């Protein structure tokens, strides 16, 4: 029997630690819970927010609708020669799944170690770190369609993954709830060591032939040194995407700012480091009221205690304005804004 609670505080359900209440709140433990929930027209018609670990959203206000917290568990794995297929419930904690694979020698996810949040949210923005994106290990996912109450399997092509993008964040936004994700891994590692910081840390540790576990530990170490721990200081990771601009715009920018931090991003495209742009505008480590940017990473906005969602949002708009004024580059928020 589903338990629908009323007026539930969400402070502990979002890593920004913003205080806001959900008018209604339900926890989903099985696929059948979703079927049962949406048979009732009261809930079918209501505004909903699907919640995993709450590590990529900013709540602007109390949520006047139904918060659906996904807690579907279970991990299954199957080995076929050197290939490994792992399927996990959407409510599994992402890093628990990474550890499950690392311990067993299933290669592919090690660079994605220690990213907060749930398995079910991982395809939404095609999570990525240290040269690997979810799409590199994704096989398919199973999702519940709110309008029809039917389950549908999405292949990698269906998901239209891109940098911090998927079909679930664009055309199909709010239409599906992911209930499980299937991954394609390998018993033969093909390490992605293109990030200088990984190579440097391996050298520091005198590791010349790294294992999957070594890479996972090195990535975790780098992350901890840069990013604030949400259990002590509220944040949702990078607040903005790294902007991707065309070569012509880039050449104009580089003429004025020769030191601009950038990476190739495919045909005629260049990706800029938003953290650098923000730092150059003088925002790094700035405290503004209860919010500000992190002292080691200007791309991360933080809650110094008691910040409201509105306060963080207003601050993010100030950053967007100043980066645009100085560089002519428009930052886009990566964090999901919930109103
Ligand atoms: P939530 O915040 O709960 O939800 C995010 C969005 O997905 C919301 O729109 C929600 O409605 C939707 N959603 C959640 N679950 C489902 C579901 N089952 N079905 C349909 N929709 C769903 N991200 C990176 O990509 N790379 C990083 O390196 C990285 N580092 C981070 C570091 C820190 C310290 C923090 C706090 C965050 C970081 N993030 C990073 C962002 C975050 O970890 C990811 O976006 C993560 O996938 C969010 O998972 P979640 O379960 O917390 O999602
Ligand atoms: N930089 C600065 N000042 C700063 C921060 C960064 O100058 O305050 C410059 C530095 O030159 C640095 C470069 O920007 O070398 C890149 O910084 P970093 O390696 O920290 O990575 P990022 O581009 O800021 C991205 C992702 C992270 C991911 C890391 C590692 C986005 C929006 N962010 O950050 O993802 O963990 O790379 O791969 O793409 C997230 O999405 O929440 C997230 C944390």
Residues 178-195 have pLDDT tens digits of 999 999 999 999 999 989
78 belongs to the catalytic site: no
Give the burial string for 6-26 (b: 16+ CB within 10 Å, else e): eebebeebbbbbbbbbbbbbb
pLDDT at residue number 240: 98
Asked if 59 and 115 sit in the same domain, the reply is no
Indicate whether residue 253 lines ligand 1 (CB < 6 A): no
Three-class SS state of 194: coil
Asked if 40 and 90 sit in the same domain, the reply is no
Q: Per the residue annotation, which of 55, 140, 238, 316 is the catalytic one?
A: 238
Considering only CA atoms, which residue is closest to atom 37 of ligand 2? 129
Domain coverage including residue 115: 75-186
Asked if 123 and 175 sit in the same domain, the reply is yes
pLDDT at residue number 27: 98
pLDDT at residue number 194: 85
Q: Are strands 63-70 and 138-145 parallel, antiparallel or unpaired?
A: unpaired
Q: Which ligand is nearest to the CA of 228?
A: 1
Q: Which ligand is nearest to the CA of 128?
A: 1
Residues 122-161 have pLDDT tens digits of 999 999 999 999 999 999 999 999 999 999 999 999 999 9
Asked if 246 and 308 sit in the same domain, the reply is yes
Residue 1 has pLDDT above 90, yes or no: no
Three-class SS state of 159: helix
Asked if 255 and 332 sit in the same domain, the reply is yes
Asked if 80 and 61 sit in the same domain, the reply is no
């Amino acid at each position: 029997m589903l338990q629908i609670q009323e007026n539930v505080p969400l402070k502990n359900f979002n890593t920004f630690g913003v205080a806001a209440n959900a008018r209604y709140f339900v926890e989903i433990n099985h696929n059948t819970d979703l079927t049962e929930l949406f048979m009732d027209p009261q809930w079918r018609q209501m505004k909903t927010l699907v919640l995993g670990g709450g590590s990529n959203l900013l709540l602007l206000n109390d949520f006047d609708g139904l918060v659906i917290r996904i807690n579907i568990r279970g991990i299954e794995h199957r080995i076929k020669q050197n290939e490994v297929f792992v399927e996990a419930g959407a409510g599994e904690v992402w890093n628990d799944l990474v550890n499950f694979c690392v311990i067993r020698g299933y290669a592919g996810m090690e660079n994605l170690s220690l990213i907060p949040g749930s398995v079910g949210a991982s395809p939404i923005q095609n999570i990525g770190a240290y040269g690997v994106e979810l799409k590199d290990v994704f096989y398919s996912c199973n999702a519940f369609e709110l309008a029809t109450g039917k389950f549908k399997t999405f292949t990698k092509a269906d998901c239209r993954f891109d940098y911090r993008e998927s079909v679930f964040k664009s055309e199909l936004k709010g239409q599906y709830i992911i209930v499980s994700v299937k991954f394609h891994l390998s018993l033969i590692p093909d390490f992605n060591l293109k990030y200088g910081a990984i190579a440097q840390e391996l050298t520091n540790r005198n590791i010349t032939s790294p294992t999957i576990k070594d890479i996972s530990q090195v990535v975790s170490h780098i992350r901890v040194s840069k990013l604030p721990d949400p259990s002590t200081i509220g944040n949702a990771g990078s607040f903005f995407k790294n902007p991707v601009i065309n070569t012509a715009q880039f050449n104009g920018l580089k003429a004025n700012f020769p030191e601009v931090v950038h990476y190739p991003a495919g045909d005629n495209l260049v990706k800029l480091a938003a953290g650098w742009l923000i730092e150059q505008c003088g925002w790094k480590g700035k405290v503004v009221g209860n919010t500000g940017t992190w002292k080691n990473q200007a791309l991360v906005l933080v809650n110094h205690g008691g910040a409201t969602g509105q306060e963080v949002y207003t601050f993010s708009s100030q950053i967007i304005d100043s980066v645009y004024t100085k560089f002519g580059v428009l930052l886009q928020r990566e964090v999901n804004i919930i109103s």
